[in-house]
Amino acid sequence: MLCHVTVLGCVLFSTACQQQDQPPGPAPSALTGDRSALGRERNDCRADKTCDPGLLCLSNLCVKPPPADCTVVAETFASFELGNYADPEERAPLVAKFKGECEKAYVTKEEGKCLDDARDKWSAAQCVPRMFPELLTKSTTGDCAQVAASFRTSLAQQMPQTDPQTKAMFDAMIGAVHKSCEEDKWPPAVVQCYLASNGVEAIQKCDAATPPALKQKIQDRVMTAMQSIQR
């Protein structure tokens, strides 16, 4: 019996020693991943496939893409502010300011290509939203409903709705304006202009103040909506 107990004790002792000699397993954080590192360079992307500013999510890994030429970007932004014919002395400080903001925002080469086609600040904001937060404050549903109501009241005076077809087209047009206001990120100044407008002449003044790229987007939405009525 003693021999049996001794052998059994040796087996247990040997097993315990083997377990103690084994290297420790990975820490819980290594198994689950450090959630605070998500989105950082060369770390996993966040659950929504986003990364920190200036990084792209490729194959669930956050990587830094090639940068834009921030001197070119700065010249573009300076032209939005001053036009193309400002004196070099007036232009230089603004170019330096925008170049620093471009580098801080990590504007990428792809975003720089998008900016090549931008003709105003609103269209530039569609390329690099983080550089124009003041332009991309999404209009509230209530504001856009009021904008649509203002359009309806003002245009009804010029567009008599004497038959069902005309009324349907009118409603489609107003609906397209409402949808554009909510989804195309109208600049706050444009929203406020339309909210304060009263009559066709006031609407025309707001239209003149609307960025050309946004104006084209609104027109495209209106045409698509009206064409759907005519089918």
Distance set, CA 106 to CA 53, 69, 95, 131, 168 (Å):
7, 10, 16, 10, 47
Residue-by-residue pLDDT tens, the chain, 231 positions: 434 443 333 333 343 334 444 444 433 333 345 667 899 999 999 999 999 877 889 999 999 899 999 999 999 999 999 988 889 999 999 999 999 999 998 899 999 999 999 988 888 988 998 888 877 665 556 789 999 998 888 888 777 767 888 888 889 999 999 999 988 888 888 998 988 888 888 888 898 889 998 999 999 999 999 888 776
pLDDT for the residue numbered 151: 86
pLDDT for the residue numbered 130: 87
pLDDT for the residue numbered 103: 94
Q: DSSP states of 122-166 as a string?
A: HHHHHH-GGG-TTT--PPPHHHHHHHHHHHHHHHHTTS---SHHH
Nearest to 56, CA basis, from 34, 40, 37: 40
CA pseudo-torsion sign 180, 181, 184, 190? positive
Per the DSSP assignment, residues forming a β-bridge with 58 are: 61
- H/E element, 22: none
pLDDT for the residue numbered 138: 56
